[in-house]
Amino acid sequence: MLSQKDNERITQVGEGTPAGELFRRYWIPAFLSEELQAGGAPLPVKLLGERLVAYRNKEGTLGLLGEFCPHRGTSLTLGRNDDCGLTCIYHGWAFDTEGACTSMPSEPDYSKFKEKIKNKSYPVHEAGGIAWTYMGPPELRPPVPNFIWTSLPESHRMVAKVYQECNYMQIWENEIDYMHASFAHLALKEQDMKEGALSTELGINPSHPLVTSRNPLLSVQPTTYGFRNMFVGQTDQTENAQQFILEAPILMPSFAYTPRVPEEDHLFHAYVPIDDTTTWSYDVHFTLERPLNHETQKERRGLWVDENYKKIYNKDNNYKQNRELMDGDNFSGILGISNQDHAVTESMGPIVDRSKEHLGTSDVGVIALRRMVLQSIKRMEKGEPPIGLDPTIPTDKIYSEGVIAPKGIPWEEACPLNPAFSPVKTEKPELTKGGAG
């Protein structure tokens, strides 16, 4: 369980809150690049409780500004995308992509007033089909995102996002809770798998190592970027069975790679708080050596959304759960592996009360995640860099590995940690009574 105090520290993300200030020290996804066209309509964006507006000017440069005009507070989501910048329709005040006021037609020509006016603005960097932003102190801005998938051609990756109605932390915890795959994602019958696909709309095949392994070894290993979440199971139940060793990197402030067996495609997730009770979830499917089968991955994701990236299967229709499916098709009665994830995390409520939990041995990754966030907050409050912000970390070398090894070989030996990610040993963070672990 987690104390109420610590639960608030890791879930509240507004300005001035511990987790909110922590998130503001990292580059985070703000929106998809495809959402804005040069000279097109602006886009309302809410991040970490702040109401913002994004636009792409006629030259193609992105800006992320405070939503409300500094003059009288009219929303700039209604603004004109003019040559002089994003122009308020109320009195014509205009702002460039850095927030400087470029036009103030309501003032006389001799007035210098516009030179004193500046809208809130945050830097934007495009990489991997995502527009990223940094919302923290300018003097502490880290290097721009550089993951293994951000430099891949579009043929090798598929980027999507979806709106989720709960706090980011319970979504992130679900990501590293591997035991739930044996239940929430279990298909009760074999399915024809297409190239690189982990599952189809029914869920994960009953023959997949994530669901066949009995009493797998679950472990974590601290790294400079966060930690490695490890799953060690058997390929089958015979005496000559080998080990499946699956590794998934977990990165601050709210990123994760999904574990994969050899030959499967890669999957990266980012869980970005809109506010305390809603989240943007970004999914990046990618391949390193061949073009990605986009249609296969759309089917594998099994997530259908409307024009606002809100899912069709949602809590209002009980995720279209079909109890007849439970008889012989899938365990949950819900189609789509992502829909299954959303159902279990959103049904907890907007912010789950972790002080009422009863954690077991399979929750080692969840405990490590909470400790990592609390440790990062503590480091930040002491004036030290939070975890994962060392500029020398080669983030473009991080991805999931899956290996098959003879039984008995320690996973640390069969799937060793890259020395570039070996952390300096530190003391465990002090937790309040009832803290994680």
Calculate the average pLDDT of the chain. 90
Q: Contact, 79 vs 67, CB < 8 A?
A: no
Q: Is the pLDDT of residue 71 over 80?
A: yes
Average pLDDT over residues 412-423: 92
Q: What is the pLDDT of residue 180?
A: 81
76-85, 167-176, 322-331, 383-392: lowest mean pLDDT where?
322-331
85-89, 146-150, 166-170, 230-234: lowest mean pLDDT where?
230-234
**Conformational region of residue 81, where left means phi above 0, alpha means psi within -120 to 50, and beta covers everything else:** beta
Q: Is the pLDDT of residue 22 over 80?
A: yes
**Sorting pLDDT into bands at 50, 70 and 90, what band is 157?**
very high
Q: Is the pLDDT of residue 434 over 70?
A: no
**Sorting pLDDT into bands at 50, 70 and 90, what band is 437?**
very low
70-79, 296-305, 425-434: range with highest mean pLDDT? 70-79
- Beta strands 266-273; 130-134: pairing state: unpaired
Q: Contact, 72 vs 90, CB < 8 A?
A: yes
What is the Cα gyration radius of the chain?
23
Q: What is the pLDDT of residue 135?
A: 98
pLDDT digits (tens, 9 = 90+) for 392-414: 999 999 999 888 899 889 999 99
Which carries the bigger pLDDT value, residue 179 or residue 415?
415
Q: What is the pLDDT of residue 159?
A: 96
φ, ψ (nearest 5 deg) of residue 248: -135, 115
Q: Is the pLDDT of residue 45 over 70?
A: yes
Walk me through the domains of the chain, giving residue ranges and CATH numbers: 27-140 (2.102.10.10), 154-421 (3.90.380.10)
Q: What is the pLDDT of residue 238?
A: 75
Q: Is the pLDDT of residue 170 over 80?
A: yes
Q: Is the pLDDT of residue 52 over 80?
A: yes
Average pLDDT over residues 331-337: 88
φ, ψ (nearest 5 deg) of residue 306: -90, -170
Average pLDDT over residues 154-176: 96
Q: Is the pLDDT of residue 432 over 50?
A: no
Which carries the bigger pLDDT value, residue 433 or residue 59?
59
Burial label for 322, CB within 10 Å (0-12, 13-18, 19+), is middle
Q: Is the dihedral of CA 107, 113, 118, 119 positive or negative?
A: negative
Average pLDDT over residues 228-240: 83
Q: What is the pLDDT of residue 189?
A: 74
Q: Is the pLDDT of residue 358 over 90?
A: yes
Q: Is the pLDDT of residue 12 over 80?
A: yes
Q: What is the pLDDT of residue 179?
A: 81
74-88, 223-237, 366-380: lowest mean pLDDT where?
223-237
C-alpha–C-alpha distance, residues 243 and 400, integer Å:
17
Q: Read off the pTM.
A: 0.91
pLDDT digits (tens, 9 = 90+) for 261-318: 777 889 999 999 999 999 999 999 999 988 988 877 777 677 889 999 999 999 999 9
Q: Is the pLDDT of residue 433 over 80?
A: no
